[in-house]
A = this chain, B = another copy of it.
Amino acid sequence: MTSSGSEPNRPGEFALIAELFVPLATAPGAFCLSDDAAIVMPPPGHDLVVTADTLVEGVHFFASDPPDLIAQKALRVNLSDLAAKGCVPAGYLLALSLPSQIEMPWLRAFASGLATTQRDFGISLLGGDTTATPGPLSITVTAFGQVPAGAMLRRSGAHAGDVVLVSGTIGDAGGGLACLRGEGVGLSDVDREFLVHRFRRPEPRLALGQALIGLASASIDISDGLLADLRHLADTSSARIEIDAARVPLSPALAALWPDETDRIIRAATAGDDYELAFAVPPENCAAVVRSAGRSGIPIAQIGVVKRGKGVTLRDSTGRPIPVSRPGYVHF
């Protein structure tokens, strides 16, 4: 792990790494963070899968969010990408840009969130970089996973006739974000806490993704919004996807937050930050997927079908398309 920058308010930065991060570098290839680089290798017969995601204060989380949950989210969104690809996670690199006002208590809580997540998923810190920044706190995680050689689930591969499924419930994180922005004043504490928790602490569906290997024809995790991410899957598969709005699984808490049914489904399907899996399955594999998913304990629901053509359509119970002005998170 290397480091650079300049700012006080914290102990010497090598002391900081020694206290906070070396204990997290449990894999042999991390060399206790004492070298310029790490070694990461999948077991024989496996491919190494890599992914990276950046979280920026004020864009992806609030400065006031609990630091251990910020750490958990930074790891979990990356693990969600690995889940969508059917991987077993192995480790990660952490590149941390720290504003001067971040002090040791905050960093200790952040490191404890990393430690919790490492235990939850059996992974190790492998290395990274710490630097000072005059800007907002920024966290880039590069995550490593392994998958049987040639078996990585892809976004491409969905065919006309395949069934489209999702895990969990959709829109909760968007509801949680809305609560943090002042909506849902009449909501019960339990509903509000449920939604905010879903925003702050996504659940990477690793067991489900691994169970889908050899069964699903295409898979993606929902980060930008159900419709936006299905659009990615449809485009990459050169296919069209039709979603039955009434079948999209929504939580009771979300129904309490957004009482209007049409408004609710549109907001849920475009909110993003769900980190549920959306995937296509050939009809002949559906029974096996239901059994596999059942063993993983993760609820799944059929929400639509793959057809010839392009694009994604959300249909109401009468079969009419529901107009959606913006399919997902606003990109620049």
Residues of A bordering B, CB below 8 Å: 2-10, 12-14, 31, 34-42, 47-54, 56, 58-60, 81-82, 84-85, 87, 93, 95, 97-98, 100, 126-129, 131-136, 138, 140, 142, 144-145, 152, 154-156, 220-221, 223-224, 236, 272, 329-332
Contacts and interface: CB of A to CB of B under 8 A. Distances in A.
Nearest to A236: B34
Interface centre among A34, A39, A93, A145 (most CB of B within 10 A): A39
A50 B54 contact: no
A209 to B, nearest CB: 11
Given A60-B4, A133-B135, A38 B51 contact: yes
Interface centre among A10, A98, A144 (most CB of B within 10 A): A144
Contacts of A14: 331
A6 B97 contact: no
10 contacts: A4-B331, A6-B332, A9-B332, A13-B332, A35-B85, A36-B81, A36-B220, A54-B131, A135-B138, A142-B142
Contact of A50 (B4, B37, B134): B37
A47 B41 contact: yes
A81 B2 contact: yes
Given A50-B126, A133-B59, A152 B2 contact: no
Contacts of A128: 52
